[in-house]
Amino acid sequence: MAEEPTDIPESPTPAARRPPPRPGRGVTAIAACLGVAAAVPLAVAAAPPPPSPVRVEDGAVVVPIDGGEAVVDPATLAVAARPDSGGRITLSDAAKQDLGDPDALTIGPGGARWSYPDRGFDASATAEQGRLSIEVRATAGGDDPDSTLTWPVTGTDPAASAVRFPRGEGLSVPLDDDFFTSEDAGLAGADIAMSSGLTLPFWGTAIGGLGASYTVGDDGIGTLLRFVSDTGRLSNEAEHTFSARSGTLKYAVTFALTGPEPTAAAADYRALLTERGQLGSLKAKIANNPEVGKLIGAFHAYTWGSGRRAAAVERMRELGIDRMWLGYDADGAP
């Protein structure tokens, strides 16, 4: 739409003389005046921005989400949910570090904002497509250029029963299983890099008849997912390192209520990518790189041992396989 005029010429004084109108200019002049006259009321009647859906309640930040409301404690970053079905569940315990007293909390059209002057952090809580989105950003005023934040802390609700995370083909692990809480499973006490140890940067929990999904922004770079079993029961802690050198000064996490199904967190992550316009298609990839089209109908396999040698590839060709994606882990002897 054309930009509305901001400077309206003043009407000429009586002493001013106008040149006689040329044929055909009268209608144009009248139309222009009408356009100016019509534009003025539109500018005056411009609607104010819609109020923020986020509100403050007893010092907590309340954000509407699909299936209920999320309640954030700015002093500790603890997050709870009040489902539409009733009750209250814990989505995250407080951050493990002492954040110090938060600065003044403000509410604007984009959500709630506050800061932690002692740690040099700015924080915000917003509603994003039915989810709670919390962003913590390290500022130049931080004392430690490589400080950490251990949060969210999940799986601590008494009704939590399983953690789901995309390792390999995906795992759903009971939180109170004797094997998985033991050293034999190799899970308790493990730190998994979300950018490389997980297929995708999210995890989920089953909480009673509901579920919760947690997604980390920037592909999880700079963030570890830790498995804790101090009490003989698994829980999770995400630890993010703020580093200017690594470009990880911003840490964003989305929280969503889901169903209890093992794939609910994965479905929520896919939906989030779709809503953000980040879910690509094979057609788009082929348009960017026509060579990708050769993979349609191709086999997909991982090999090891002698399967990594040229003779194995030649044998596949003899068997009539002309298109195949082969992958293997390099170990110094490819």
DSSP string, 86-123: SS-EEEEB--SS--------EEETTEEEEEETTTTEEE
Contact 147, 98 (CB under 8 A): no
Question: Can you give the pLDDT at residue 49?
Answer: 65
pLDDT in tens, the chain (334 residues): 444 443 333 433 333 333 334 344 443 333 333 343 344 444 455 666 667 799 999 999 999 999 999 999 999 999 999 999 999 999 999 999 999 999 999 999 889 999 999 999 999 999 999 999 999 999 864 456 579 999 999 999 999 999 999 998 899 999 999 999 988 888 999 999 999 999 999 999 999 999 999 999 999 999 999 999 987 899 999 999 999 999 999 999 999 999 999 999 999 999 999 999 998 888 989 999 999 898 888 888 888 888 888 899 899 999 998 888 888 766 666 5
Question: Can you give the pLDDT at residue 20?
Answer: 39
Question: Can you give the pLDDT at residue 80?
Answer: 98
Alpha carbon separation from 108 to 55, 58, 70, 181 (Å, rounded): 9, 18, 18, 44
Tokens of 175: 């939180």
Instruction: Compute the half-sphere exposure of residue 8: CA atoms within 13 Å on the CB side of its CA.
Output: 12
Report angle CA 320, 324, 330 to the nearest 5 degrees: 125
34's enclosing H/E stretch is: helix 25-44
Give the total residue count for the chain.
334
* C-alpha closest to that of 79 among 213, 191, 265: 213
At 28, give phi and psi (nearest 5°).
-65, -45
Question: Can you give the pLDDT at residue 45?
Answer: 56
Residues near 209 by Cβ (< 8 Å), separated by ≥ 6?
85, 260
| Residue carrying the six token digits 């989505």 | 91
DSSP state letters, 303-315: --GGGGSHHHHHH
Torsion of the alpha carbons at 284, 287, 293 and 296, rounded to the nearest 10:
20
Instruction: Compute the half-sphere exposure of residue 254: CA atoms within 13 Å on the CB side of its CA.
Output: 26
Count of CB atoms within 10 A of residue 134's CB? 24
Alpha carbon separation from 78 to 46, 114, 245 (Å, rounded): 39, 15, 29
Report angle CA 174, 180, 183 to the nearest 5 degrees: 160
Contact 202, 213 (CB under 8 A): yes
